[in-house]
Chain A
C-alpha cells in the first residue's frame, strides 16, 4: 500500500469511527437534571446531558452563562476564551490546555449535532482557572455556585423516639437556623444566601403521624408539614465541628390512647405543653380527618364548557369551601389532595389520604355526557369484580413473631384497599344522597357503583361525587353559581356530621 492509499484508508477509518461514536452518542444521550447556577444575580438552569454515567454540558450554554467565546479551529481543536485567557480542547483527548497548563477531564469533548459537549467537570477543572469569580461545582446536587455566596449543604433525617420524634438538620458549613410554628407547619429559616438541599429533603417521611414531610419553600427556608399527632416542639442549634446541627424535638399528642384505657398519669413535660385539638361533643370522637380530592388539575382540565368553565377550577373552588366549613364548624382536620392548579397523579391523591390515616375520602367532580340532556348529581362508590374481591380477601401472610412462632397478618394490595370499606362507603353515599335531595338536582339513579380508579386504593370509606353536568347548559349555569356551591357544601357538611355521629367509639382503623 503506497503512502497516498494509506492516508486515504486512515481518513476513512477515522471518519467511520467518528460516525459510530457520533451515532452512539446521539442514541445514548439522555436529559439529566439541569445544573443550577447560583450567583448574586439569581439562579439559572444550564441543561445537562447524560452519556453513559458521565454528565456533559454544552459549550454554547456555558458561553451564554459566563460570557465565553467558543471557536472551532481548522485543525479540529476547540478554543474557549474568556477575557484574553484561552482553554484549548482536542476532540479525542480527555485533556484541556489552560494557558499552557494541561488538566485532565473524565472524558473527551464530544460533538452532538452542531454543539460541542464537555464533561461537567470542565467547569471546576478548567473554567475555574480562568474565570474571575470563584466557581464551586457541587456535582451530587447539580449546583454551581458563582462568587462568594454562603450556600451550606443541608441534610435532614428523622428518628422515632418512642411516641415522640426528632428531626435533625446538619447544616455545613455552619449557619444558624430559626424554627417557628405557623398553623400546620414549622418554618425553618437558615441564615445563608441559599441552601444546597435535595428537592425531597426527607425522601421517606415517617408514618408516625407527627410530621407529614419536609419541603423546600424558598432559597433559605424549609417547612415541616405537621401530622395529626403533633402537639409541640423544641428546637436547638448545636455547633459540631464545621457543621451546625439543628435538632427539633417533636412531642406527640396524648389522644391516641384507646378510649377505654385509663388516663395516663400526668408526666412532666420537657417541651412546651401540647396544644391538643379542640374537643367538640362528648365523648371525643376518633373520627377526625377528612381528605378532600378536587378532581383533575393542571393540564388535565376535566370537562369544559364552550364559555370557559372548567371542571378542575370548579372542583377546587368547592373543595376549598368544603374545607373551610369543616374546619370552622367541626374542628376536624381536612387535607386537600391539591390546593392549587396542578396535575396530581391518581395514586398520589389516595396516598395523601392513606398516609394521613384519613377517616373519609371525598373526591369532587363535575360530569359530562355526549347528550346535553344529561343532568343531576350522583354519588359513586367503588365497584370490584368478584376476582378482585377474592384476591383482596386472600392476601394473608405468616410472619415470625418475637420469641418464636408466627402469626398471620392481613395484607391488602394497594389497588384493592377499598374492598374492606365498601359497606361504609355505601353508607356515606346514602347519607349524602339524603342530604343532597331537595337542595341539589339529582340524577335518576343518585348512587352508583363503578370501577373508579381514585376510589380503589383508598383505605377508608370513600366516595366520588359528580355534582352535575357541565355539558348541560342549564346545569353549567347553575354549577358555577354561589348558591349551588353553597348548597353542595352544606349537603356534604351535613352528611359528614351524620357519618361522624355513627362512627364507632373505637374507630375502625
Chain B
C-alpha cells in the first residue's frame, strides 16, 4: 500500500513540474529586441503572422539592362520582431518570380536562418545552391549579393549591414569575385 502511494506521489510531482515548465514557457515574452545573436530557421516562422497581416517592402530584381537592380514594392508577411521580419523579407526576396521580373538569386536557393546582432549586423544563411548554381560573372555576383544586402538594409532600419553565409559557414565569395568575409553595408549604387 505504501509503495502504491509513493508511486502516485512521484507521478503527481512529475505532472506538477511539467505544468510549471509549460506555463513558464507560455509566459516568456516574444523575441523582440533580443540582445544576443540568435539563430532561427526560416520555415516555419517561430512567430507566425496573423493571416492577412502584411507590410510593404522594397524587393530587388535584375533591371532590364542586366547591369543594375530595380526595386519593386511588394506585400510581405508581417513578422513579430526584427528577426522574424527579416526572415519574411528574405523568404519573399529569394522566392522564384515570373517574367517580367528576373531574380539575381540562383535558382533553388533557400533560406536557412537569419540572425541579427545587437550592433545591427544581419547574418543571412542560405543554402548551398547560392554558390553551386551561381552562373558567375562579377555583375551577376554583385547583384546577387546586393539583392540580399539591400532587401534587409533598405527595409529594416535596425539592420545596418549584412553578411551572407552559405550552408551555415562563412564564405570568401559566391563565384570568385565579391568579398563576403565581412558584413556589407547598404549600397544603392547597384540599384537604378
Contact = CB atoms under 8 A, between A and B. Distances in A.
State yes or no: do A and B come from one complex. Answer: yes
Residue of B104, B176, B185 with most partner-chain A CB within 10 A: B176
Nearest to A297: B176
A6 interface: no
B27 interface: no
A96 to B, nearest CB: 45
A346 B137 contact: no
A392 B66 CA distance: 34
Interface residues of B, number: 28
Interface string B136-152: 11111011000000000
A453 B174 CA distance: 11
A300 interface: yes
Interface string A149-176: 0000000000000000000000000000
B182 A303 contact: no
The CB with the most chain A CB atoms within 10 A, among B65, B104, B178, B179, is that of B179
A105 B8 CA distance: 63
A3 interface: no
Nearest to A443: B67
Interface in B126-173: 135-140, 142-143, 161, 172-173
A119 interface: no
A380 B138 contact: yes
A368 B139 contact: yes
Nearest to B172: A453
Q: Contact residue range for chain A?
A: 35 or more
B177 interface: yes
A348 B5 CA distance: 75
A370 B140 contact: yes
A415 B64 CA distance: 34
Contacts of B63: 371
Interface stretch (A202-210, A354-362, A444-452): A444-452
A31 interface: no
A303 B135 contact: yes
B110 interface: no
Contacts of A372: 66
Contacts of B67: 369, 374, 376, 443-445
Contacts of A91: none
Given A374-B66, A451-B184, A471 B178 contact: no
B152 to A, nearest CB: 16
Given A302-B176, A451-B178, A453-B172, A371 B64 contact: yes
B65 A368 contact: no
Contacts of B104: 370
A454 interface: yes
B88 to A, nearest CB: 24
Contact of A466 (B138, B143, B179, B182): B138
A452 B179 contact: yes
B103 interface: yes
B37 to A, nearest CB: 18
A245 interface: no
A466 B139 contact: yes
Given A295-B176, A370-B66, A373-B66, A303 B136 contact: yes
A385 B139 contact: no
Interface of A: 295-296, 300-304, 311, 346, 365-376, 378, 380, 385, 388, 415, 443-445, 450-454, 456, 464, 466, 469-472
11 contacts: A304-B136, A365-B138, A368-B135, A369-B66, A370-B103, A371-B66, A452-B177, A466-B138, A466-B139, A469-B137, A471-B135
Given A368-B136, A373-B65, 16 more contacts: A303-B140, A311-B137, A366-B137, A369-B66, A369-B67, A370-B140, A370-B143, A371-B63, A373-B64, A373-B66, A415-B181, A452-B179, A453-B177, A453-B181, A454-B177, A471-B135
The 4 closest A-B pairs by CB, nearest first: A368-B137, A374-B66, A371-B66, A369-B66
